[in-house]
Amino acid sequence: MGFSTTAIHAGQEPDEATGAVTVPIYQTSTYAQEGLGKNKGFEYARTQNPTRLAVERNIAALEGARFGYAFASGMAAIDATLRLIKSGEHVIVSDNTYGGTFRLFTRILAHYGIEFDFVDTSDISNVEEKLKPNTRMVFLETPTNPVMIVTDLQAVSDVAHRAGARVVCDNTFMSPYLQRPLDFGVDIVVHSTTKYLNGHSDGIGGAVVLNDEEDANWIAFVQNSAGAILSPFDSWLVLRGTKTLALRMEQHDRTGRAVAAFLEEHPAVRKLYYPGSLSHPQHETAKRQQRGFGGMVAFDVGSLEAARTVLESVKLCTLAESLGGVETLISHPATMTHASVLPETRARLGITDGLVRISVGLEDTDDIIADLDQALAKIS
C-alpha cells in the first residue's frame, strides 16, 4: 500500500454505528459497561479513546511501526519515552536538539539520576566515544533545528545496538513522508504532531511509535499512569492532517528547494543551512535517508541589525515560533526558540545573531520568494 493510501485509511474504518467516513470525535470520559468485567474494550478515556486509537494506529502505520501512542504535546511524548530510562543509566543526545528537549533533559530528568551527554552526532566517532556500559539510549534529531545538522541514522543505530542502547529519533522536521527512521535501524520515533503531522497550526500534540513489544507496553503504561494523553478533538485534527501529509510535504519540499536556491544566490546571504544544498556537509547522508529535504531553511545575514530588518520587513511571512503549518513562518532562533541555549553553545552551533529560520508554507512559491526578495533588498 502506498503512503497516501495508508495515510487516508490506516486506523480509520467507517464508523460502525453510523457509517461516518471520518472517525467521530468520541468526546466522552467514560463508557457504559454491560456487566462486571464486560465492556466493548473501552472503560475510561484516559486509558482508551477510539479517536485517539485511530490516530495512534494511523501514525504507527505511516512510520512502519507496530505500536503508536499519542500524547498531549511533543514534549509529553519525549518525556514518556525517557521513562524507559532508570536512575543510574546514561543517554547520549544530539547536541543541537530542540530547546525544549534540552531543557527537559538537563533541568528536570537530570534530577532523577539520569546522566546525559550532548554530542555532535553527525560524527559517529563522537557517539562511539561517549558510549558506556550504562548507556541505554541514544536520542537523535535529524536534521536539527535550526542549523540542519544531519545524522546518519543507520551508522548510529549500528554502534548503539552493539553497545546495547536503544536509538530514538525525533522525526518532527521530516515527517514520515520524507524520512522513516525505523527503516534505518532506529528503535523509537517521536513526533511533535504540532508541526507537519497536524500541518494546520491548530493543535499541540505528540506521538511515540516503536516495534519492540516490551518497550511499547511500558510506553502504554506510562501514558495511562501519567496521563498526558492527546484529547479526542486534537486526535481528530491530526487525523485530518495526515490525510494530506504526502501532498503537503511534496509542496513544502518543492518550495523549500526554490527558496534555498534563491537564498544561496543572494548577495546579502552569508551562509545557507539547507541539507538539499550541495554545499551542506551532510548532503549525501541526507539524500540517502530522506525522500526530500523539506520546508525548513535557515540563513545568516551577518548581524542582528540585518536580521531584524529582514524579520520586520517581510509582509507575507509571519514572524512566529513553530513550523510545519500551511503558512510561512519566519523566526530569529537566537532570541526566540534558542534564547535559553548558552551563548557559547549558540556560537559553536552557528546560531548567530544574524541567523534567520524559515518554515516554508504552502503559499505560492513565487509569492514567498518575492516577499523575501523585497525584505533582503532593504539590507543589500
Ligand X SMILES: *Cc1c(COP(=O)(O)O)cnc(C)c1O
Catalytic amino acids?
Answer: 46, 98, 170, 195
Q: Taking a C-beta distance cutoff of 8 angstroms, is the pair 269, 299 a contact?
A: yes
Figure out which of the listed residues 26, 67, 69, 98 binds ligand X, where binding follows CB under 6 A: 98
Is the Cβ of residue 51 or residue 198 nearer to ligand X in the bound state? 198
Nearest residue to ligand X by CB is: 74
> Where does this chain touch ligand X (CB under 6 A) — which range of 94-102, 212-220, 232-240, 256-264?
94-102
Give the CA angle between residues 119, 270, 305 to the nearest 5°.
Answer: 95
Q: Does 197 bind ligand X (CB under 6 A)?
A: no
Q: Does 105 bind ligand X (CB under 6 A)?
A: no
Figure out which of the listed residues 175, 192, 235, 289 binds ligand X, where binding follows CB under 6 A: 192
Is the Cβ of residue 100 or residue 350 nearer to ligand X in the bound state? 100
What is the spatial distance between Cα 281 and Cα 275, in angstroms, rounded to a whole number?
Answer: 8
Q: Which residue has the cell 553527525?
A: 122
Q: Is the dihedral angle over the CA atoms 333, 336, 337, 339 positive or is it negative?
A: positive
What is the spatial distance between Cα 138 and Cα 185, in angstroms, rounded to a whole number?
Answer: 12
* Alpha-carbon distance values, 116 to 88, 121, 151 (Å): 11, 14, 18
> Where does this chain touch ligand X (CB under 6 A) — which range of 26-34, 192-200, 239-247, 284-292?
192-200
Is the Cβ of residue 98 or residue 293 nearer to ligand X in the bound state? 98
* Cell numbers for 47: 486509558
* Closest approach of ligand X to the CB of residue 144, in Å: 8
Q: Does 75 bind ligand X (CB under 6 A)?
A: yes
Name the DSSP class of 35: B
Which H or E element spans position 235?
A: helix 232-242
User: What are the helix (H) ranges across 67-163?
Assistant: 74-82, 99-107, 124-130, 153-162
Figure out which of the listed residues 11, 74, 146, 295 binds ligand X, where binding follows CB under 6 A: 74
Backbone angles phi, psi at 270, to 5 degrees: -80, -35
- Candidates 5, 262, 256, 289; CA nearest to 143 is 289
> Where does this chain touch ligand X (CB under 6 A) — which range of 69-77, 128-136, 210-218, 367-375?
69-77
Q: Total residues contacting ligand X (rule CB under 6 A)?
A: 16
Figure out which of the listed residues 58, 145, 179, 282 binds ligand X, where binding follows CB under 6 A: 145
Figure out which of the listed residues 24, 100, 302, 350 binds ligand X, where binding follows CB under 6 A: 100
* Closest approach of ligand X to the CB of residue 120, in Å: 17
What is the spatial distance between Cα 197 and Cα 173, in angstroms, rounded to a whole number?
Answer: 10
What is the spatial distance between Cα 330 and Cα 153, in angstroms, rounded to a whole number?
Answer: 28
* Closest approach of ligand X to the CB of residue 98, in Å: 4
* Closest approach of ligand X to the CB of residue 228, in Å: 10
Q: Output the CA torsion 335→76→140→264 (10° steps).
A: -40
Figure out which of the listed residues 170, 187, 300, 371 binds ligand X, where binding follows CB under 6 A: 170
Question: How many CB atoms are located within 10 Å of the residue 38 CB?
Answer: 7
Which H or E element spans position 169?
A: strand 166-170
Figure out which of the listed residues 122, 194, 251, 359 binds ligand X, where binding follows CB under 6 A: 194
* Closest approach of ligand X to the CB of residue 99, in Å: 9
Q: Does 201 bind ligand X (CB under 6 A)?
A: no
> Where does this chain touch ligand X (CB under 6 A) — which range of 48-56, 70-78, 123-131, 283-291?
70-78
Under the rule (CB under 6 A), what is the footprint of ligand X? 73-75, 98, 100-101, 141, 145, 170, 172-173, 192, 194-195, 204, 206
